[in-house]
């Protein structure tokens, strides 16, 4: 059972940094860095000082992972986190930041599609060249035959 599956609807589960690292694929170092730079909200601590992550923290980390996948700069991710903490009056600014990121993602997708078309063309030209070379080799072998 994964960390995400162990959460209870009645009481939010708590997870150690090593459990969160195993679940998310992030290192403990990265999780601490996220906290230091302001990407993570306040993380509760146990009576011994160990970080105790909650389900909401795991959901936030999942969202941050999606933002990382978009290529959003860390500074923009931190700004977004600051806006979330600032409250509902920042909806317009959060939306604008995400819309700008969406435009960037769409532009990258278009660039990748163009790149894929070039690769497909080049692969196709090699397939034709190999086929023609095979036919030529067969013809040459037949001309030199017994």
**How far apart (Å, rounded) are the C-alpha atoms in residues 27 and 138?**
57
| CA gyration radius, the chain | 26
**How far apart (Å, rounded) are the C-alpha atoms in residues 25 and 115?**
30
27 near 82, Cβ under 8 Å? no
57 near 71, Cβ under 8 Å? no
pTM: 0.77
**How far apart (Å, rounded) are the C-alpha atoms in residues 84 and 121?**
46
**How far apart (Å, rounded) are the C-alpha atoms in residues 12 and 15?**
10
84 near 90, Cβ under 8 Å? yes
Res. 146 pLDDT band, cuts 50 70 90: low
Beta strand spans in the chain (E): 14-15, 44-45, 51-54
Give the Å distances, CA to CA, from 84 to 64, 68, 117: 13, 17, 40
**How far apart (Å, rounded) are the C-alpha atoms in residues 26 and 35?**
13
* Model pLDDT for residues 1-56, shown as the tens digit of each residue: 444 444 444 567 999 999 999 999 999 999 999 999 999 988 999 999 999 999 99
What mean pLDDT is predicted for residues 56-71? Answer: 97
């Amino acid at each position: 059972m994964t960390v995400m599956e162990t959460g209870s609807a009645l009481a939010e589960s708590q997870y150690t940094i090593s459990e969160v690292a195993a679940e998310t694929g992030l290192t403990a170092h990265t999780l601490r860095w996220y906290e230091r730079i302001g990407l993570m909200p306040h993380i509760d601590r146990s009576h011994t000082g160990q970080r105790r992550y909650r389900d909401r923290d795991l959901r936030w980390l999942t969202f941050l992972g999606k933002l990382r996948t978009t290529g959003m700069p860390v500074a923009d991710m931190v700004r977004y986190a600051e806006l979330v903490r600032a409250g509902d009056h920042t909806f317009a600014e959060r939306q604008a930041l995400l819309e700008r990121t969406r435009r960037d993602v769409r532009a990258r997708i278009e660039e990748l599609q163009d790149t894929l078309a070039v690769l497909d063309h080049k692969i196709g030209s090699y397939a034709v060249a190999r086929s023609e070379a095979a036919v030529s080799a067969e013809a040459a072998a037949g001309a030199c035959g017994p």
